[in-house]
Amino acid sequence: MGSVQTDQQPLLPVANSTTPFWRTELHELDSHRSTDVLPAECDILIIGGGYAGIGAAYHLLAGDEPIAGKTVVLLEAREACSGATGRNGGHLRPSVYPRLPYYIKEYGKDAAEHLADFEFDHVQAIAELVKKEGIDCDFELTRSYDIYTDLDQAQAAKKKYLRYKEAGIAKSTMDDLEWTDQDRAEEVYQIGISGVKGCVGCFTFTAASVWPYKLMMSLLKIAVSKGLNLQTHTPVTAVSPTPTASGTWTAYTPRGAISAKQVIFATNGYTSTLLPEYEGKIVPCRGICSRIVCPAETRPPQLDKTYCIRFNNGSHDYLIPRADGSIVVGGARSTFFQDYKNWYNTVDDASLITPSANYFDTYMQDNFVGWDDSGAKLDQIWTGIMGYNSDSLPSVGEVPGREGCFIAAGFEGHGMPLIWLTMQGIVGMLGGKKYEEVRLPSMFKTTKERLESKRDDLRGTN
């Protein structure tokens, strides 16, 4: 890989970000401020208005066990849901299974199974939430293909799956997986098999697709209706102990300061600006995503599942078909990942990743059987900033050495099947429970040891 760029800019969200498809229909709360003036204090302060921050607000004010009589303020640097959540692939896809052996080896069987169940349960939890709140967000409960294009990888994946299934490990996940062998795998999707060129075997499993911005903004609206004070366009530049009141924290913004007894850092890749101990632990990294459209008269039949296509160069793409006939597809890592300056330690979602700018132009023709004469073409392309981790795991829980400060960040390119229940757990902790008393994956717990570790998966040191 190329040399590592060490960006010395403060890690705050930038202006003029690229426009993702999801943010083409803006919600009334997109740039909302509940009060003209920033309150001077509150009980619970949430920093960050993405999935994690909005999830926390909803669980606090409208969840199964809402807190009573506490004031909650959410500060967002830009528009609501303008970070990774508003720019992702809309793919809610639990996929612990390829990494199960690693998790079992590193963290033990119980912890690995707990994580598998935790991800698996997200699909149902979000399906129920959407139904309960009557949210219009194109939520589609479906199955997802995991496509292999390398025969050795495919055989190894199948072997592992059969071994784990037989041993009854991570039962819900394994029982839900179905394997299709090479001889049937490239048949066209019309008869239910993948339709991906070069497919040599595939799994399917339960997943969902969604318009993430619409889902989040509906939840935000509910939280605001229950008393959340939302303050968009309010970047927090520092958080420190309140000089005049012990046991509380003050967040500083260009619009004034606000103090709170409890603070939730839902700041994704930008976290180390406010919590410097996470520098190098949660690193802002850029990804790219696109929307492809196809004229109705030449459009092949609608894809009936979502996809992850694993290429033999180690890279993979993810894709969801939408009811409007368009396709949202992201990834393209093979085009840019070798050179760190394209993606590592950058908060610039105002520009594309240059080597990937044309990657999606003929994506459907290049990768799908029956699409050669479809006329499918790129409609929109955008970038977004993720929080990648030096040990490949999110950081969740009370920040070591900062009583009353909680973090939920670093969900990499996989937040959709992790964040909802994580924030429920965090809210339980705000109510006084210990990490181990709420439902959170043990390996996500933020600890002094993890912060002090020299491990760096992103730059290849263990």
Q: Is 183 exposed, middle or buried (0-12, 13-18, 19+ CB in 10 A)?
A: exposed
> For the stretch 306-330, what's the b/e string if a residue is b when 16 or more beta carbons lie within 10 angstroms of its beta carbon?
bbbbbbeeeebbbbbbbeeebbbbb
Which range touches ligand FAD (CB under 6 A), out of 64-72, 283-291, 432-440, 450-458? 283-291
Q: Cβ 52 to ligand FAD, closest distance in Å? A: 4
The residues that bridge with 265 in the sheet, in sequence order, are: 47, 407
Q: Which is nearer to ligand FAD, 89 or 201 (CB)?
A: 89
Q: Which is nearer to ligand FAD, 154 or 208 (CB)?
A: 208
Residue 258 DSSP SS3: strand
Kindly tell me which residue out of 44, 74, 83, 340 binds ligand FAD, with binding defined by CB under 6 A. Answer: 83
Which range touches ligand FAD (CB under 6 A), out of 1-9, 22-30, 182-190, 266-274? 266-274
Kindly tell me which residue out of 267, 326, 345, 446 binds ligand FAD, with binding defined by CB under 6 A. Answer: 267
Residues 409-428 as x/- pattern, contact with ligand FAD by CB under 6 A: x-x-xxxxx-x---------
Helix (H) or strand (E) holding 73, with range, is strand 72-75
Q: Is 356 in the site for ligand FAD (CB under 6 A)?
A: no
Kindly tell me which residue out of 23, 91, 261, 305 binds ligand FAD, with binding defined by CB under 6 A. Answer: 91
The residues that bridge with 285 in the sheet, in sequence order, are: 344, 386
Picking from 87, 81, 84, the residue whose alpha carbon sits closest to that of residue 19 is 87
Strand 249-253 to 395-398 pairing: unpaired
- Tokens representing residue 310 in the block: 């694993």
328, 90 Cβ separation under 8 angstroms = yes
Q: Is 274 in the site for ligand FAD (CB under 6 A)?
A: yes
The residues in 376-405 that bind ligand FAD, with binding defined as CB under 6 A, are 384, 386
> What torsion, rounded to 10 degrees, do the Cα atoms 232, 238, 242, 244 define?
-100
Q: Is 209 in the site for ligand FAD (CB under 6 A)?
A: no
Q: Is 330 in the site for ligand FAD (CB under 6 A)?
A: yes
Q: Which is nearer to ligand FAD, 51 or 444 (CB)?
A: 51
What are the start-end ranges of the H helices in 226-318? 271-274
Q: Cβ 234 to ligand FAD, closest distance in Å? A: 7
Quote the Cα angle for 84-87-89, to 5°: 105
* Number of residues located near ligand FAD, criterion CB under 6 A: 45
Q: Cβ 118 to ligand FAD, closest distance in Å? A: 13
For ligand FAD, the binding residues (CB under 6 A) are 12-13, 47-53, 75-78, 82-85, 87-91, 235-236, 266-268, 270, 273-274, 287-289, 318, 330, 384, 386, 409, 411, 413-417, 419
